[in-house]
């Protein structure tokens, strides 16, 4: 990709079309003059996408963001950004321009973004398309936590299974321990607070090419393409540690909670149901072994002691 970036810089620096390239960590690696101008990026600057969005939002410039809570909008957007091979959508800028943007993903996690100015299209048709895009976003988003929902996550499992054997990965099913007891003891409002806290803590450790979402109740899924079983276990172990340390209830500073996880690697001939079933069975084993731990598919012993 480094060679491609060099070639782009020579070919597209002066074009009015906005062009940018992000690496697998979602750091900007190239932006032409038009893109830099639209998003207030200095020549040679290479910010992370999240940092770029945050600073522009604070300065009231760049992308129009329809959200009362910027960080919640950011998590929601990141739960879908870079998770599909190709995505196209419309976005408006605070300077009044309207852009048609495409995102094309490479197998190594690099992303090519191309945007064209479509401000001249009729305002009425623009409003209709904006309503359509918002409806699509809502159909892929869990309303409570803001991350991807079951529909979107299952689509990413299918995408992973359709890749070649060399780049297939792992699926983890994560479940908050004793969640029913939390609801019964403190009420559903506190339960919702725990779900949101869990989402924030875990999402902060999700890699750009991975997909994290809520599939129902207290159960979440992490899709990890191009990741070995050992690498997946290390990723989820970090999540276990940060959740163990969380103290989300200000009125109960000693309250903590944990989760358990089952992880399965893709096998030849897998379909989404078979892969999910193996990860779910591993999760059940983790629960039976005492909770607050990881169980790998095919392993007889837990991979993370509760005392960690």
Tokens coding 20: 């940018």
Gap between the Cα atoms of 199 and 201, Å rounded? 6
Assess contact for 113 and 39: CB atoms under 8 A.
Answer: no
Q: How many Cα atoms occupy the beta-carbon half-sphere of 39 within 13 Å?
A: 29
DSSP code, position 166: G
Assess contact for 274 and 262: CB atoms under 8 A.
Answer: no
- Other residues' Cβ atoms within 10 Å of the Cβ of residue 123: 9
Burial letters for 11-32: b for 16+ Cβ neighbours within 10 Å, e otherwise?
A: ebeeeeebbbbbbbebbbbbbb
Gap between the Cα atoms of 158 and 139, Å rounded? 18
* Angle formed at CA 201 by CA 293 and CA 84, multiple of 5 degrees: 95
Q: Respond yes or no: is residue 143 known to be catalytic.
A: no
Catalytic residue among 42, 72, 103, 218: 218
- The residues that are catalytic are 218
């Amino acid at each position: 990709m480094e060679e491609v970036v060099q070639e782009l810089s020579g070919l597209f620096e002066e074009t009015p079309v906005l062009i940018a390239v992000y690496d697998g960590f979602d750091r900007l690696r190239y932006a032409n003059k038009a893109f830099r101008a639209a998003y207030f990026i200095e020549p040679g600057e290479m910010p992370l996408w999240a940092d770029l969005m945050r600073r522009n939002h604070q300065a009231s410039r760049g992308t129009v963001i329809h959200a009362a809570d910027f960080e919640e909008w950011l998590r929601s957007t990141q739960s879908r950004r870079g998770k599909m091979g190709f995505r196209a959508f419309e976005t408006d800028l605070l300077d009044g321009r309207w852009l048609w943007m495409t995102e094309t993903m490479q197998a190594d996690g690099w992303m090519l973004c191309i945007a064209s100015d479509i401000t001249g299209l009729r305002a009425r048709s623009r409003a209709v398309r904006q309503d359509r895009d918002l409806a699509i976003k809502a159909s892929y988003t869990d309303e409570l936590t803001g991350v991807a929902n079951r529909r979107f996550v299952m689509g990413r499992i299918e995408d992973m299974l359709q890749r070649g054997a060399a780049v297939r990965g792992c699926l983890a099913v994560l479940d908050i321990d004793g969640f029913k007891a939390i609801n019964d003891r403190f009420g559903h409002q506190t339960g919702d607070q725990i779900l949101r806290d869990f989402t924030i803590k875990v999402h902060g450790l999700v890699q750009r090419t991975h997909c994290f979402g809520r599939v129902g109740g207290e159960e979440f899924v992490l899709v990890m393409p191009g990741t070995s079983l050992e690498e997946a276990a290390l990723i989820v172990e970090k999540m276990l540690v940060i959740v163990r340390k969380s103290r989300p209830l200000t009125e109960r500073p000693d309250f903590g909670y944990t989760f358990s996880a089952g992880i399965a690697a893709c096998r030849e001939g897998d379909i989404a149901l078979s892969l999910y079933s193996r990860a779910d069975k591993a999760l059940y084993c983790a629960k039976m072994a005492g909770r607050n731990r990881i169980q790998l598919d095919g392993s007889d012993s837990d991979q993370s002691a509760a005392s960690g």
